[in-house]
Amino acid sequence: MERNKFRWIKKIQKVKNVSYQFACLPTEIRNNILSEIKNELINNTQIILDSNQKDVKKAIATKLKQSLIDRLTLNQKRIQEMISAIDTIISLPDPVNQVISEWTRPNGLKIKKLRVPIGVIFMIYESRPNVTIDSVALCIKSGNCVILRGGSESINTNKTLIKIVKNAISNVWKKFNLEFKDDIVLFIDEPSYDIMYELLKLENYIDLVIPRGGEKMISIIKSRSVIPVLSHGSGICHTFVDATADVEKSIQVCFNAKVQRPAVCNAMETLLVHKDIAEKFLPKMAKMYIEHNVELRGCKKTIKILNQHGIKIKPAKLQDWTTEYLDLILSIKIVENIDEAIEHINKFGSHHSDAIMSTNSQNIQKFCNEVDSAAVFVNSSTRLHDGGVFGFGTEIGISTSKLHARGTMGLNELTTTKYIVVGDGTIRT
């Protein structure tokens, strides 16, 4: 353990050293690295799929939860999504050295505020190997070095993806005749918690930790890290169907929010329904859910209405309102008015993604103003809270923190700021 610890510390020191040089590379070179990674993904798709199958088979044999197996699994479509994300990231403006604001003081002092790379980012994540490519692509474009620590369940896939990344970087160094002795991308291929906990003490070499995974994992990392942590929070997401909502559109949106991909953080976990539309909306909605194997858990009023239509569901318990199911399970509550809906969301939600279905402009504005979440959706699905959907190519996570980034995190969220102050022998008097 001690020898391994020092081996990794030494490697991370080297990443920190090279990060200053990498941050100064021009956009052209960073975009070239992304283009090479894209080409390597295209040329090695079958190798990636074969590696992933090893991880999936092992996950099935060890009886990993189906939601985690879904996150772990890669297919042609998901690899193509990675490739498309890289294309988008290449096309986006380079945030590095972007001028945020500038002004001149009465004493002639010229002040400029710039975006600059954060430095070294430590990504800790579970199950989803696409995070490996997403993180690398966003970090490289934003001028950051990245340390990756994926879960043991995706080790074979991640090793293959990292090999692809390393080959791409090496090709670009040769193309531009650059000599980088140390890694700008470091993969921790030992999924040991002890090693990870030691690395969380390296505040002199790592600038930011971004964990993506279960609430328990994130909580442990926050408690042990001396490095700032920007957490990808749990997703207890809600949709409120207001009294004036269009029933057919609401059915379409609420179905998508729960069923399209239930094992992800922006899937809806609780459906709130105004009492005045419940009789018209809930029986149709519940029938559609049940046809698609969604287990429903409802409040007493919900159970009463559905019983009248021959639909039997489980009673919801208090813990259901605070549970991120990540599965085909949904809790339903009928509320008296929009105030009760907002109160429920702010009390029981995770401040991730919440939606309102309504045609009442005053209620829509009230919901947007008073719901304290990273993203609020109007007449649209919470599943849309995504870097690709927002035009960022992809995301490094969806933050429920309020400092320094909130919501889906793209290139700009991977930068910090620097002031450039220019005088002419100017002093303070």
pTM value is 0.93
Per-residue pLDDT tens digits for 250-283: 999 999 999 999 989 999 999 999 999 999 999 9
Determine the pLDDT at residue 216. Answer: 86
d(CA 296, CA 2): 50
Sheet of 185-187: strand order equals 185-187, 145-149, 120-125, 208-212
CA neighbor of 230 nearest in space, from 71, 382, 374, 389: 374
Q: Is 48 exposed, middle or buried (0-12, 13-18, 19+ CB in 10 A)?
A: buried
Statement: residue 110 has pLDDT above 70: yes
- Name the least confident of 28-37, 219-228, 394-403: 394-403
Residue 1 pLDDT: 62
Give every CB contact of residue 131 below 8 A, 6+ residues apart in sequence: 123, 125, 150, 212
Show the domains of the chain with their CATH numbers: 2-230+409-422 (3.40.605.10), 237-384 (3.40.309.10)
